[in-house]
C-alpha cells in the first residue's frame, strides 16, 4: 500500500462524514481516532481497500445511515439501464461484438463516487470505443472465455454493473458466477443492485462475504474462496479489486479497469484515464 493512498483516504474523510451524517459534536473525536489508526498502519502489510473499509466501519458506529450512496447507485443504474438497448444495438452492429462489449464494460468503470473522482460518462465511452486499450491482453481473455467451464466475474460499481450485464449477454457463457459485496460499501454493487438490473439473467450471483470495496482473499467467505480457487477464469473489474488481488500472479485472473490515480498508473504502466485489460501473470510489481 502506498503512502499516497493514505493521503487520499484522509482527504475523503470530510465527504464521508457528511455522507454518513455524523453529528458535528462527534466529528473531532472520530477523526482523531481514525488518524491514530492510520498512523499505526504498516504500509508494506496493508491493503488500501481494507483501510477504507476500517475507516467506514468507524463511521458506521456513529451513524444510522445504512447505505450512504443509495441514491447515487440507483441513479447510475437507472441512467445506464435507460440506454441499455442503445448500447446493445451498438454492440450488435459492430464488426467485433466481443471487443465493443468489452470496451463498454471497461469504460463503465469510470462511474465511481470515490475521493476526487469526477467523470464524464459520454466522453469516456466515446474514447473507449475509438482509442487503443493501453494494456491489452483482450485476445488472451477472449480465448480463455472460450475454454473456461466456469467463470467468476468480480463486480465493482453500480452503473458499471449494467455494462457488465451487456458484456455477459454478449459472451453468452453458460456458467458465470457474478460476485458482489456482502453489504453496502461506497457505490459498489451488492446482490440487491445486481438483481435489480438483471444480472441474474446471465449469471449466478454470489456475495463475497466481506464489506470492503475490494476482493480480499484473507477475508472472504469459505464459499466464495472455494469458487475462486476452482474457477477456470476470473475476471476482476475495477481498481478496488485490482488493489486486493494485484499480488496474486495467477494466470486465471484478468483485470479490467480504467486507471484513476497515479499509484495504479505506475503499477500497470498506463496513464490516468486509459483502459486496462491485464492478465495477472504479466504484472510487474
* Mean pLDDT for all residues in the chain: 93
CB 59 within 8 A of CB 33: no
Are 35 and 94 within one domain? no
* CA–CA separation, 44 and 79 (whole Å): 40
pLDDT at 113 over 80: no
Residue 65 lies in a domain: no
Of 37, 60, 83, which residue is a domain's last?
60
Are 101 and 142 within one domain? yes
Residue 148 lies in a domain: yes
pLDDT at 108 over 90: no
The pLDDT of residue 45 is 86
Residue 254 lies in a domain: yes
- Any idea what the CATH number is for the domain that residue 161 is in? 3.40.50.10880
Residue 260 lies in a domain: yes
pLDDT at 116 over 60: no
CA angle 108, 243, 163 (to 5 degrees): 15
284/225: higher pLDDT = 225
Q: What is the DSSP letter of 181?
A: B
Confidence of residue 265 (pLDDT cuts 50, 70, 90): very high
Are 53 and 78 within one domain? no
The pLDDT of residue 149 is 98
Q: What does the pLDDT look like over 165-175, one tens digit per residue?
A: 999 999 999 99
Are 100 and 178 within one domain? yes
Are 84 and 35 within one domain? no
Of 24, 41, 60, which residue is a domain's last?
60
* CA–CA separation, 195 and 189 (whole Å): 10
Domain that holds residue 17: 3-60
Q: What does the pLDDT look like over 76-93, one tens digit per residue?
A: 999 999 999 999 999 999
Query: For residue 65, what is its C-alpha cell?
Result: 445511515
Please state which of the ranges 117-126, 208-217, 238-247 shows the lowest mean pLDDT: 117-126
Are 118 and 243 within one domain? yes
pLDDT at 284 over 60: no
Residues 6+ apart with CB under 8 A from 218: none
pLDDT at 251 over 60: yes
Residue 141 lies in a domain: yes
- pTM for the structure as a whole: 0.93
Are 107 and 42 within one domain? no
Confidence of residue 114 (pLDDT cuts 50, 70, 90): low
Are 187 and 139 within one domain? yes
Quote the number of domains for the chain. 2
Amino acid at each position: 500500500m502506498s503512502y499516497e493512498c493514505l493521503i487520499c483516504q484522509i482527504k475523503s474523510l470530510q465527504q464521508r462524514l457528511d455522507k454518513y451524517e455524523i453529528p458535528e459534536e462527534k466529528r473531532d473525536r472520530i477523526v482523531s481516532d481514525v488518524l491514530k489508526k492510520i498512523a499505526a498502519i504498516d504500509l508494506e502489510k496493508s491493503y488500501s481497500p481494507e483501510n477504507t473499509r476500517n475507516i467506514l466501519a468507524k463511521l458506521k458506529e456513529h451513524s444510522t445511515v445504512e447505505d450512504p450512496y443509495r441514491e447515487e447507485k440507483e441513479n447510475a443504474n437507472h441512467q445506464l439501464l435507460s440506454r441499455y438497448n442503445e448500447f446493445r444495438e451498438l454492440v450488435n452492429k459492430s464488426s467485433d461484438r466481443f471487443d465493443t462489449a468489452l470496451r463498454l464494460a471497461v469504460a463503465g468503470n469510470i462511474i465511481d463516487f470515490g475521493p476526487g473522482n469526477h467523470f464524464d460518462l459520454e466522453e469516456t465511452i466515446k474514447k473507449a470505443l475509438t482509442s487503443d486499450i493501453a494494456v491489452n491482453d483482450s485476445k488472451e481473455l477472449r480465448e480463455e472465455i472460450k475454454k473456461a467451464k466456469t467463470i467468476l466475474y468480480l463486480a465493482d460499481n453500480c452503473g458499471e454493473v449494467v455494462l457488465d450485464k451487456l458484456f455477459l449477454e454478449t459472451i453468452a457463457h453458460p456458467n458465470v458466477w457474478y460476485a458482489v459485496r456482502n453489504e453496502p460499501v461506497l457505490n459498489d454493487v451488492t446482490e440487491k443492485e445486481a438483481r435489480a438490473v438483471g444480472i441474474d439473467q446471465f449469471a449466478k450471483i454470489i456475495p463475497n462475504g466481506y464489506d470492503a470495496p475490494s476482493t480480499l482473499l484473507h477475508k472472504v467467505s469459505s464459499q466464495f474462496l472455494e469458487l475462486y480457487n476452482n474457477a477456470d477464469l476470473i475476471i476482476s473489474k475495477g481498481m478496488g479489486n485490482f488493489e486486493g488481488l494485484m499480488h496474486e500472479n495467477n494466470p486465471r485472473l484478468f483485470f479490467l479497469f480504467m486507471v484513476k490515480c497515479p499509484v495504479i498508473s505506475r503499477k500497470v504502466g498506463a496513464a490516468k484515464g486509459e483502459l486496462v485489460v491485464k492478465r495477472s501473470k504479466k504484472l510487474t510489481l
